Structure 1
Amino acid sequence: MAASKFAIITGASTGIGFELAHLAAQNGYDLLVVADEPLIEASATDFRRHGVEVEAVQADLATIEGVEKLIEAAKGRTVNLLCANAGRGLGHGFLEQEVADWRRVIDTNITGTLYLLQKVVQPMVARDEGKVLITGSIAGFMPGSFQAVYNGTKAFIDSFADALRNEIEEAKGVTITTLMPGATETEFFDRADMLDTKVGSDEKDDPAKVAKDGWDALMAGKAHIVSGWKNKLQAAAAHVTPASILAEQHRKMAEPGTAEEHDDE
């Protein structure tokens, strides 16, 4: 039997999205989960242990067609909760990157995310009910040397979420929460080819803790949540530090080869 609450969660096969899907299922939401890899089917089996209905879709949310495939899978059902969590990183210097690779980061993190938000939030505002969690990043607060496109997309998302929240402020029943984690223990750094960097090799935050911080803020209708006290300090410092210094600090974390230097200290 279908639950009365329905959630869409993107990037749900691993990491923060996987943990958010578990939290939603534990809280009685039927799920539509999506990722761009077959692993999403196995993850869906895991979510069904909570006794809710779960539908899994493998789709590329870097494309308009992928987002439409996801929307069609909802079969017109009212979406009470959206976790727009799908994202993609890319390490190394921008001038070395293939056009197709950096475009995929932009299309996943920005274009696909915005199209999904427009499709889902329009009916939420029309009925004055719904909760949205957008996964931004504290990376959006600093110039991302050797991760320039990714950090730029997160700066866009952090800003866009603030603007959208203001645009729909008359819809009091709709909340938009931005989750801004720091480096988190997920597949992100492997997929971004950043395992040879300091940030890729350092200890990272627990995705379950990050997801719980995001979930609690989402349920409380908060505008923002920076997960983790170290990240809160870093985010606060970024607001008063010159961009040139932030860029140099980021270089020391993200430049290829810095993992070895770090390990030798």
Structure 2
Amino acid sequence: MSTPAVRPLALVTGASSGIGLELARQFATHGFDLVVAAEDAGLEAAAQDLRGTGAAVEAVRVDLATADGVEELHRRATAGGRPVAAAALNAGIGSGGPFAETPLERELRLVDLNVRGTVHLAKLVVRDMVPRREGRILITSSIASTMAGPFAAVYNASKSFDQSFALGLRAELEDSGITVTSLMPGPTDTDFFERGDLTDTKLGTTGLKDSPADVARQGFEALMAGRERVVAASLTTKLQAYSSRFLPDSAKAALHKVMARPGSAR
């Protein structure tokens, strides 16, 4: 009797809802087992849903804005001795409002999660992958990375960091057998705007939000193809990213200011 093939293992962060949950679903329906992570109580329900695909799913509830949380996730992901074949570093939060008035603690937490947590987990994952000379890493950036973000200055800056980090790491690892792909969503129909206090803005109330399932599908396909980046998901989002390449930084900032100004939804 032949031994059943071992499914590859994928690690997905921010997987309790939205793009992260849909990325996990993409992995699960394409033959991967999963370690999924988030800090909120919805993670277990998400994991149970994913188990319905036939994948083995371990849910690790940790705060990836802390070093202890990142280390615990990595320990749990590697405890069984199976290599992490693919890692989707997707966890992140937003923050909107005038910088002079927004809580410092919220924005420092944003930096800790979107920047420090991403770098910390990438360090651990890359160190595991390099000796094997194989692996795939997806880093969720944003089209916000292409522009300064008045009324979301810290968030946009964090995504600019993630974008530069992903591209730099990709170039560094180009001969290692490891690929790094940047996922650049536009406005997506998730709870991001509610959690980031952006629901009273034009940006938060636009009817042109993309489906998180479509964003995740395009991100997964780009990852598996080894592509450098993908702007996801709709044609409108792709055109916005393309046209921004030709606008001066001051013009992009002015447009973002109009869309993200508190009260602009009215």
- The percentage of aligned residue pairs carrying the same residue is 48
1:213 is matched with: 218
Separation in 2, partners of 1:22, 1:161: 23
**Per the alignment, in what secondary structure is the counterpart of residue 145 of structure 2?**
helix
1:59 aligns with 2:65: no
Deviation at 1:4, TM superposition (A): 2.7
Q: Quick one: which of 245, 248, 257 aligns to 2:251?
A: 245
Matched letter for residue 68 of structure 1: E
1:19 aligns with 2:19: no
1:194 is matched with: 198
**1:80-127 per-position Cα deviation (integer Å, ceiling 9, x unaligned):** 010000011000011111211100111110000110001001221211
**1:190-212 per-position Cα deviation (integer Å, ceiling 9, x unaligned):** 00011101111112110000000
Which runs of 4 or more aligned residues in structure 1 lie more than 3 Å from their structure 2 counterparts after TM superposition?
Answer: none
Deviation at 1:2, TM superposition (A): 8.7
Q: How many residue pairs end up in the alignment? A: 259
1:5 is matched with: 8
Q: How does 1:92-111 map to 2 (within 5 A)?
A: 92-111=97-116
Separation in 1, partners of 2:36, 2:116: 19
1:50 aligns with 2:50: no
1:178 is matched with: 182
Kept after mapping to 2: 8 A contact 1:2/1:53: no
Kept after mapping to 2: 8 A contact 1:17/1:85: yes
**Per the alignment, in what secondary structure is the counterpart of residue 89 of structure 1?**
coil
Deviation at 1:77, TM superposition (A): 2.6
Structure 2 unaligned segments of length 5 or more: list them: none
**Per the alignment, in what secondary structure is the counterpart of residue 95 of structure 1?**
coil
2:171 is matched with: 166
Tell me the TM-score normalized by structure 2: 0.95
**Per the alignment, in what secondary structure is the counterpart of residue 169 of structure 2?**
helix
Separation in 2, partners of 1:21, 1:4: 14
Deviation at 1:38, TM superposition (A): 1.1
Kept after mapping to 2: 8 A contact 1:2/1:30: no
Structure 1 unaligned segments of length 5 or more: list them: 261-265
Tell me the TM-score normalized by structure 1: 0.95
**1:35-68 per-position Cα deviation (integer Å, ceiling 9, x unaligned):** 0101100000000001111110111111111101
Separation in 2, partners of 1:174, 1:180: 20
**Per the alignment, in what secondary structure is the counterpart of residue 84 of structure 2?**
coil
Deviation at 1:247, TM superposition (A): 0.9
Separation in 1, partners of 2:5, 2:109: 35
